[in-house]
Structures are given as C-alpha cells and as structure tokens.
Structure 1
Amino acid sequence: MAKYVKFLASAGYFPETVVTNDELSQIMETNDEWIQAHTGIKERRYAIDENTSDLSTKVALKLLKQSNLQAEAIDLIILSTISPDAITPSTAAIVQSNIGAKNAFAFDISAACSGFVYALSIAEKYVRSGQYQNVMVISAEVNSKMMDFTDRTSAVFFGDAAGGAILSASDNPNDEMYVAEKLATKGDADVIHSGRIAPLSAVKADNYPQMDAFYQDGRAVYEFVTSTVLAHIQQFLAEQKLTADDFDLIVLHQANLRLIEYIAQELKQPLDKFAINVPTIGNTSSAGLPTALAERLSDGQTYGKVLLTGFGAGLAYGSVILNLQNFSQK
C-alpha cells in the first residue's frame, strides 16, 4: 500500500579549514575584489585529510541523532556526488558500513549540482511504495580535490561540504510533506565536466588511468541558468497553479550569489526569502542545496511551502516542492 512521505530530518556539515579569497590569490592570478564582484563568494571550506565518505558519515550521524532513529532502522542510503572516494565501491556503501546501517542497501547517483533534488525524487518513490520505511539522502562533495588551481574561472567558486535528509513512510495523511517534482536533462557534456577518463588507444605496459580536473564554461552556465532554469521554475509553478508568492522559502543550488540574485529579481521575490550560504561556504555542488536548507530549518521559524531547485552538469536540472508546515527540527 502506498504511503505518505514525511520529511523527518535535515542536516549539514562543513569542514573546519576556511580558505579566503586572499589565500587563493597567493596561488593563482586573482584577488578578493574580482572574486566577490563576479561571484559574491568571500571564502569557502576545504576538506583537509577528509574524503567524501568522511563528510557524508558526519552528516549521516547528525541525521540519525535528529530523527531519533537507530542506524538499523535505515532501509536505504542514496548518496549524490561528483567527487566520490572512488569509482567503485560506492561512497554510499562506505557510509553504510561506517554508521552500522546493517539493514540498508546503498548506492551513489551522479547528477552534479542537481544531485540532492534527483536523490530526493528517487527516495520518495521508495518510501511511497510502502516497502521501505526510512530512506537517508546525502549529498556530499570534496570539490577541492578535483580543482585545477591554475584555472581561476573555476577554482575560485568551489568548496567542500555535505548535507542530507531522511524521508520516512507514514500512514497519516497529515504527515505528507512531498508535494510535487519536475526533473529534466538537457544533454551537453562540454559545458561542465569533471573526472573524464580517456579510452584505451593502444595496449601498452605503461598504460595507467588518469582523469581530468573540473572544468566549466562560465558564460554557457550563466546562459543556461538565466534562460533554461528560470523558464523551468516558471513552468513548473504554473503547472502546479502556484506562484513564487506562495512559498515561504526558496532554496536554489548555491552556484554563486549573483545567479541567486538574478532569479530572485526575475521571480519578483525578496532575497531574504532565499536560503543562501554561498558567500561563506562557496559553491559546494550538490551539497549546497541541502546545507542551505538545513541552516534555515534550524532557525526556529516554521515554513510552509518550500521550493528546491538544483541545476548543473548534464546539463541536469529539477525542482521539488515540499510542505514543511509540520516539520520540527529536533
């Protein structure tokens, strides 16, 4: 029997090491004034001697504590990342072992900065089926290990973080918090890419796999967000017979402050309606959206309708509407 979907917990984690714009200017041709003018970013966090599974595990433990669940109660762990510990095994499997979620199965997904939205969509289907009670969703990125620090057009944007949520099944219709979703992909492998591995060109003893650093075409990304993503949000809301005025909180992928400001202006919404952490955390890819959401949900306010919109490499984008009127941050 299909179940109602409850948003049970929300948490984030940031590494301790703060890297300022001035520090980056010591290793690349840039400066604080240029970075802030173009991105609104003042500093970011880097994971030193921590990998993606480490950040993910810390978020998972926070989620368990907040939800008052034991690890054995988790049925599934979905982890979105473009900076995994390894191609295999999945980072989700490492987290499952780390927290002792012995009854869970686990897998990774790759949807870049849309990863949290895509993972929520998958989790909702598992919970809705009635076969699974508690699904943990984590988005975690150690972007710093994928950067080319000679490329100021990319490296200045990114930081490291992890965030997540737990979706839980309920028999009570009053617990329903997952309202609607709309996901899309506009295939383009060149605008944003990371970790490309070239195919074998010949059988040689010195063959060894190598991958490239993160790359983005900043102008193309800007055009994608200001045209395709903005239109996606407007169409989605129209399909749901809603307007931006109907939302108490809007959480976008934390790409950079200027893009968030642009979308707020186009939607005719005050900037304080948007959850924002990018100025001090940087662009943390898929982790930006859940960490910004977790910060706002911990401020003691009650939020009704919440719009989540992610967008990134793929090009992948999508939105989810939650109703968190009955959500309580423990």
Structure 2
Amino acid sequence: MTKAVISGTGLYTPPATIENEELVQAFNAYVDNHNRQYADEIASGARDALQPSAPEFIEKASGIKRRHVIDREGILDPERLCPIIPDRPNDEPSVQCDMSVAAAREALDQAGKSAADVDAVIVACSNMQRPYPAISVEVQAALGIDGFAYDVNVACSSATFGLQAAVNAVEQGSANAVLVISPEICSGHLNFRDRDSHFIFGDACTAILVEREDRVAPGKGYDVLGTRLKTQFSNNIRNNFGFLNRGDDAGVGAPDKLFVQQGRKVFKEVSPMVAETIQSHLASVDLAPSDLKRMWLHQANLNMNQLIARRVLGRDATIEEAPVILDEYANTSSAGSIIAFHLHNSDLSTGDLGVICSFGAGYSIGCVIIRKR
C-alpha cells in the first residue's frame, strides 16, 4: 500500500505582537472604567466589581508571555478590546487566504515542490471567515492548484483531523499530494473583557504538505506510521457565534458568543484522555512511550502539557522532549502543535519517532505518529 510522508511545513506569523504587560494595562483600564461606571450598583451589591489582571497571573496560569496578532491597536484600546479586521471586497483575497498562501508557499519550498505538484487543499481551523465559498477553494485558486479543496472545523484539533484526512487521501489514491493549512485568527473570537481568558489566544497560520512516499526523496521528511482521532461531547469549551445568531438583537456581544470555557474542568477531564489516547495509539503500532524522541503537543496551557507528557512518559519530560512555543505564540488553536513541530524537528535523526497531538473543544483529540526518514 502507498504510504504517506510529511515532506514540508510552513508558518505564517503576523508581525504585530502584544506583551503580557501591554495586554494587562489595556484590560485593567477597562476594569477601572467599568467599576467607576457602575460604582453605585457595585456598592449596593447589585453588581460584582471586575477584578484586574496581572502579568504574573497570566504566566503562572498559562506559561504565555506574548502573542502575535493580526491587529494590536483594537485589542489594546480599553474602549474596544477587540481586533480591527476590516471586511474586504469580494474580489480581494480574504485575510485567511493571504495567511494560508504565505504558509503554504513555505511548506512547498521546504519540500522542493510547486503548486503544480499538489492535488488537494484542506483548510482546517477553529473559525472560518465565512461559511462559503470555502476558504480552501479560495486558497486553491490563489495558489493555482488543479484539484479539489474543502474546509474542516474540529476546533483546536482541526489540523490533526485534517492531517488524517490528507494521509487517507494519499494512501487511498485520491491525491498524490495534499496541503493541510490552518489559518487561525483566534483573536477574533476571544473575549478580551474576561479576566480568566483574555490572555489565551494568538494568531498564526501553519501548512503541512503530505505526499506519496515515492514522490519524496529518500531521507527527506517524516513517514506517517499511524493516525488516531477521538471525540467526546462537552460544553466546557464553547463558542456560540454563528450565522443563525448574528446581529445585536441576537446578543452577539454576549460572552457566550465568544470563546468561553470552564478551564478547571477541561484540565481535569481532557488531560487523562489525551495521555491515554497517545499511549493506546502507540501500543496499537507496537511502540512504547519510551520509544518517543519528541512530543509536539497542542499549545493550550503549559501546566496541561507538562501533566500530559508526565502521564505518557511516567516522568517529567525535558523541554527537548516536549517543546513549548506558548511563551511566544500563546494558544493558536489547531496551529499550535504544528508550530511546535515546524520549529522543533530539525535536530532529529533518521529513525527518531515522535507524535503530533492536538486536543480541544468537542472534546476532540487528534494523534499522529511519525518517524524521521
């Protein structure tokens, strides 16, 4: 049977950044304005006062120090606390298309391929700019790819779910090469007025090229040894915004129309599920956790990643074994594990084994075992 190989990866990083201190300054100005505006209601007990944030709180809770964003001015405006991303005319490329093309071109360059070598595009991310036409078809056209394309949304696991779809397409013969692209504009659905989550997300886009092994030069890329997906419904991470509840009358400004989570429940429930999924997936291909050289985990929370790695390995993982990009990028949803892979794989040797694993709302878990060729 034809086997699939990851032959290239790409990363688009927005140039604008926001440090924790800047974000906290804007959030606390909003808190001060809110508490002054509702001082009488707060004094009477009719309304709770908002609590300020702090850089130390953010880093301890998440491991995040800064984030890259599409727009920083709107986010850092205490009167707005929301990115300014203007609509574009229909005859101009969408923001997600521009991000995708940049990341895809790097992946193609790394693989030594061109758009003419690609048969399919899967755009897999948490939130699409529009329902249709599919962002993936727009990206396909922008790159000049002759084939097919479709969008995938499984929240923070979108990239690994898309990766499995690409592997299946290659191994079953419906495509010779597939681009999986994750243009995550997470700042657009983050509630920057919520102290418990205002710091979580950043923006980025990743791309992965998956090809037939006979099209990849010997010793180049990573063999895909197996993929595994798991879902289990939960309301503990949720975003209710959609075309059926658009407009002010539908309460678009309400907190549950943006990202909302019950963080402690997510930590407690998802961590063991992820560790068990990785362990059982390894066992299914006759591998043990001790065989792993590296784990590229979803970059949601430093404490969560450390716990998952400890459960998988039976000990604390070194920073080399479970690299972290949270401090620089924050949570970039499905792009996070792919950013970690893109930035931290060049030191591996032939035969080294690793696992790309993402997890998030759904609950959803995607696990991909790979081996350096």
TM-score computed with the length of structure 1 as normaliser: 0.89
Q: Are residues 1:69 and 2:113 paired?
A: yes
Q: Which amino acid aligns with 2:230?
A: A
* In structure 1, distance between residues paired with 2:249 and 2:329: 38
CA deviation after TM superposition for structure 1 residue 253, in Å: 0.3
Matched with 2:155 is 112
Matched with 2:275 is 230
CA contact (8 A) 1:112 1:286 kept: yes
Matched with 1:42 is 65
* In structure 1, distance between residues paired with 2:370 and 2:192: 38
Q: For 1:249-264, what aligned pairs fall within 5 Å after superposition?
A: 249-264=294-309
CA deviation after TM superposition for structure 1 residue 98, in Å: 1.9
Q: Are residues 1:310 and 2:358 paired?
A: yes
Give per-residue Cα distances to partners, 1:41-82, cap 9 Å, x unaligned: 111110125832222121011112222222122100011111
* In structure 2, distance between residues paired with 1:89 and 1:209: 26
CA contact (8 A) 2:323 2:340 kept: yes
Matched with 2:89 is none
CA deviation after TM superposition for structure 1 residue 195, in Å: 4.3
Relative distance call for 1:302 and 1:87 in structure 2 (3 A) is same
CA contact (8 A) 1:197 1:209 kept: no
> Where do 5+ consecutive residues of structure 2 fail to align?
28-51, 72-84, 86-93
Matched-pair identity in %:
28
Matched with 2:19 is 20
Q: Are residues 1:58 and 2:108 paired?
A: no
> Where do 5+ consecutive residues of structure 1 fail to align?
none
Relative distance call for 1:197 and 1:5 in structure 2 (3 A) is closer
* In structure 2, distance between residues paired with 1:21 and 1:238: 41
CA deviation after TM superposition for structure 1 residue 314, in Å: 0.9
* In structure 2, distance between residues paired with 1:300 and 1:247: 14
Q: Are residues 1:165 and 2:213 paired?
A: no
CA deviation after TM superposition for structure 1 residue 209, in Å: 9.5
The structure 1 segments of at least 4 consecutive aligned residues displaced by more than 4 Å after TM superposition are: 172-176, 205-211
Q: Which amino acid aligns with 2:264?
A: R
CA contact (8 A) 1:164 1:291 kept: no
* In structure 1, distance between residues paired with 2:266 and 2:250: 32
TM-score computed with the length of structure 2 as normaliser: 0.79
* In structure 1, distance between residues paired with 2:116 and 2:294: 33
What secondary structure is seen at the aligned counterpart in 1 of 2:344? helix
Q: For 1:135-150, what aligned pairs fall within 5 Å after superposition?
A: 135-150=178-193
Deviates more, 1:209-218 or 1:75-84: 209-218
Matched with 2:328 is 280
* In structure 2, distance between residues paired with 1:164 and 1:314: 23
CA deviation after TM superposition for structure 1 residue 30, in Å: 1.0
| Structure number with bigger Rg | 2
Relative distance call for 1:279 and 1:206 in structure 2 (3 A) is closer
Matched pairs, number:
317
CA deviation after TM superposition for structure 1 residue 238, in Å: 2.8
* In structure 2, distance between residues paired with 1:74 and 1:247: 31
Q: Are residues 1:289 and 2:337 paired?
A: yes
CA contact (8 A) 2:272 2:308 kept: no
Relative distance call for 1:17 and 1:255 in structure 2 (3 A) is same
Relative distance call for 1:208 and 1:225 in structure 2 (3 A) is closer
Q: Which amino acid aligns with 2:120?
A: L
Matched with 1:11 is 10
What secondary structure is seen at the aligned counterpart in 1 of 2:188? helix
Relative distance call for 1:302 and 1:260 in structure 2 (3 A) is same
